[in-house]
Amino acid sequence: MAKKQFKSESKRLLDLMINSIYTHKEIFLRELISNASDAIDKLCFISLTDSNVGLSREDFKINLTLDKENRKIIIEDNGIGMDKEDLDKNLGTIASSGSYRFKQEMEKTDDVDIIGQFGVGFYSAFMVAEKVEVYTKKYGADTGYIWSSSGADGYTIKEAEKENAGSVVTLYIKADTENENYSEFLEQYRISELVKKYSDYIRYPVIMDMTQTKVKEGTEDSENPEYESVTEPQTLNSMIPIWQRPKKEVTEEEYEKFYHDKFMSFDKPAKIITTSVEGVVTYKALLYIPSKTPYDYYTKEYKKGLQLYSSGVLIMENCEELLPEHFRFVKGVVDSQDFSLNISREVLQHDHQLKTVAQTLEKKIKNELASMLKKDRETYESFFKEFGRQIKYGIVSDYGMHKDTLKDLLMFYSSNSEKMTTLAEYVDRMPEEQKYIYFATGENVTAISKLPQAEKVLSKGYELLYCTQDVDEFTIQSLMQYNEKQFKSVDSDDLGIEDENDSENTDTYDNVTKFVKDALGDKVSEVVASKKLISHPVCMTAKGGISFEMEKYFAAVQPEAGMKAQRCLELNMNHKAVEAMIKAIDTDEEKAKKYAQILYNQSLLIAGLPIDDPSEYADLVCSIME
């Protein structure tokens, strides 16, 4: 029979597995049992509505058989099984994102210990087996198949009669070598220990024949009781899913292991949330807030949602309705016996019980984040660096509907310190006479702190929020105010700061501003005598509700709309450079025009905006120096 080749990616992973020097080879069993359990989940779900399956919840199980003599481990399930296509697709390529991600990580590092952090899947069998056979029949199919492979040189598939749906995976265990002992995996005690260690929460019985020495019946009371060796099937796992166990009894390690196995995440969760609710809908939930943004988080591949169980049956792998968009980074499971089992997935989506659960979960997640912010600031800050953008999107989306839920979770950099601040803390620090919450936008913190138009606010000792993300300004616009304090951009005409200079009549400079506007033409929409500059000669501010940062944002996402900020050039009439230009207006008009051009270009540079013609600007400066 012709051998088929593994897809090249898979071959590489397979090589890694076969030649693995990894010490925790034992995880192969966890992976195969977890595959068996997933396959049973699928058929169990079908059996809820399809009586042809002929099995009920209690009939599903995973059988382990050890054949010491022939060095075989057999893992059998009565789950959904696979047909020929499935075998090609699932076992011939790296099907799961977990394995794929693993392969990518492996290529970056030599640290073999990372294997344990991944759901590396089916191929891990090759860490202990020289040959693997999968004898399987898909539910509803006419015939079964045997897939067989001795590793990297490929695999074969042949037809084979099989009575019932399900899979039988046979591992032909490698011979021991000088450095490696594989025979341990053929020992009952070792296998039962591994099931307890890694697969205890699997919700179907994992059954194996266990041999035990027992007192012979009838001899219990005699003085010399006789012993005999008895072999009988035993269930090795407790079958209690981790979320059903009392929190006190579960170690953090166990919770983390579950997170890694179940959600293919390998970060240490920032927060583990357990909740048990009794009420209109009774449910238990186990939720995880990741500490790292998943690599595919901002792609279409990422699926928002929680796993939904009903009385131990997996109803939905990714129930989107359970999570609001702004908490889409949360992972976890919800288990409720109140969802009727016969419900179809479509009906479930409109189920109002589901909405009730979603609402209480949203509140719970919000409160947990708020308490993390209060009690574990450092963790919260690193969480916010990862997912703050998502929270901000949440405020902007749905016409600001969620802003009250989310506003206290926001953090911004500010002039107060190097650390981020919340809005509540900002408002707390406001001196009594300060009317507004001030903010400025720019490329980064340093650039913003040096903006000329920020000078006035800062010189007053008022705090300034630094908006460095494109979504920041939209967030502030959606909020409009916080605790009755309105937000104010440093670009605004009226900063609400009383000042001696304000009494100065700026009208006297009408001729100057008109001159500069004429000299610059359409490059600016307005030229004004500034009320907010102190040491700088000029600044460029944005008028008309669109800031320069927004302009950049729109240019990137909607270039065709041509959204532009209105450029307003502000002149500091008390600055020596501006005074020099004013003088030149009367004495040497050509020179005055050059000065105007230079000041204009300077304002662009300071604002971090591209100047129209750099070489022209350079020539201009040189001509003045000559």
Q: Which of 90, 192, 276, 291 binds ligand ADP (CB under 6 A)?
A: 90
Q: Which of 60, 122, 474, 617 binds ligand ADP (CB under 6 A)?
A: 122
Q: Closest approach of Cβ 452 to ligand ADP, in Å?
A: 56
Beta bridge partners of 73: 66, 171
Residues 6 or more apart from 539 whose CB is under 8 A from it?
Answer: 451, 452, 453, 530, 532, 533, 569, 570, 603, 606, 607
Q: Closest approach of Cβ 332 to ligand ADP, in Å?
A: 18
17 binds ligand ADP (CB under 6 A): no
Of 90 and 525, nearer to ligand ADP (C-beta) is 90
Q: Are strands 526-529 and 566-571 parallel, antiparallel or unpaired?
A: parallel
Q: Closest approach of Cβ 34 to ligand ADP, in Å?
A: 7
Q: Which of 13, 17, 66, 80 binds ligand ADP (CB under 6 A)?
A: 80
Residues in region 356-375 near ligand ADP by CB under 6 A: none
Q: Which of 96, 150, 192, 492 binds ligand ADP (CB under 6 A)?
A: 96
Element spanning 356, H or E: helix 352-375
State the Cα–Cα distance between residues 487 and 576, nearest whole angstrom: 33
Question: Phi and psi at residue 624, in whole multiples of 5°?
Answer: -70, -40
State the Cα–Cα distance between residues 216 and 117, nearest whole angstrom: 46
State the Cα–Cα distance between residues 277 and 146, nearest whole angstrom: 47
State the Cα–Cα distance between residues 476 and 472, nearest whole angstrom: 6
Q: Closest approach of Cβ 147 to ligand ADP, in Å?
A: 10
Question: Phi and psi at residue 350, in whole multiples of 5°?
Answer: -105, 5
65 binds ligand ADP (CB under 6 A): no
Of 36 and 273, nearer to ligand ADP (C-beta) is 36
93 binds ligand ADP (CB under 6 A): no
Q: Closest approach of Cβ 197 to ligand ADP, in Å?
A: 19
Of 32 and 354, nearer to ligand ADP (C-beta) is 32
> Which parts of 238-329 are beta strand (E)?
271-277, 283-289, 306-310, 313-319
Of 99 and 405, nearer to ligand ADP (C-beta) is 99
Asked if 128 and 173 touch (Cβ cutoff 8 Å), the reply is yes
Of 156 and 337, nearer to ligand ADP (C-beta) is 156
170 binds ligand ADP (CB under 6 A): no
Of 88 and 184, nearer to ligand ADP (C-beta) is 88
Of 14 and 289, nearer to ligand ADP (C-beta) is 14
Residue whose token pair is 């008109």:
514
Q: Are strands 566-571 and 538-543 parallel, antiparallel or unpaired?
A: antiparallel
What residue type is assigned to position 430 of the chain? M
39 binds ligand ADP (CB under 6 A): yes
Q: Which of 78, 99, 188, 422 binds ligand ADP (CB under 6 A)?
A: 99
State the Cα–Cα distance between residues 433 and 58, nearest whole angstrom: 71
- Stretch of 73-81, 357-365, 465-473, 532-540 contacting ligand ADP, by CB under 6 A: 73-81
82 binds ligand ADP (CB under 6 A): yes
The token duo for 81 is 């099984």
Q: Which of 121, 269, 324, 608 binds ligand ADP (CB under 6 A)?
A: 121
With CB atoms as reference, the residue minimizing the distance to ligand ADP is 121
> Which parts of 239-282 are beta strand (E)?
271-277
- Stretch of 10-18, 30-38, 363-371, 525-533 contacting ligand ADP, by CB under 6 A: 30-38
Asked if 253 and 272 touch (Cβ cutoff 8 Å), the reply is no
State the Cα–Cα distance between residues 114 and 99, nearest whole angstrom: 12
175: exposed, middle or buried (Cβ count in 10 Å: 0-12, 13-18, 19+):
exposed
79 binds ligand ADP (CB under 6 A): yes
| Residue (of 439, 423, 520) closest to 473 by Cα position | 439
Q: Which of 14, 22, 33, 77 binds ligand ADP (CB under 6 A)?
A: 77
Q: Closest approach of Cβ 155 to ligand ADP, in Å?
A: 13
602: exposed, middle or buried (Cβ count in 10 Å: 0-12, 13-18, 19+):
buried
- Stretch of 117-125, 313-321, 352-360, 546-554 contacting ligand ADP, by CB under 6 A: 117-125
- Spacing of C-alpha 68 from chain mean position: 45
150 binds ligand ADP (CB under 6 A): no
Return the C-alpha torsion angle 307, 308, 312, 315, nearest 10.
Answer: -110
Q: Which of 119, 269, 332, 537 binds ligand ADP (CB under 6 A)?
A: 119
Count residues near ligand ADP (CB under 6 A): 19
95 binds ligand ADP (CB under 6 A): yes
- CA end-to-end span of the chain, whole Å? 88
Q: Which of 27, 29, 33, 36 binds ligand ADP (CB under 6 A)?
A: 36
Of 20 and 244, nearer to ligand ADP (C-beta) is 20
Chain length of the chain: 626
Task: Note the residues at the interface with ligand ADP (CB under 6 A).
Answer: 31, 35-36, 39, 77, 79-82, 90-91, 95-96, 98-99, 119, 121-122, 167
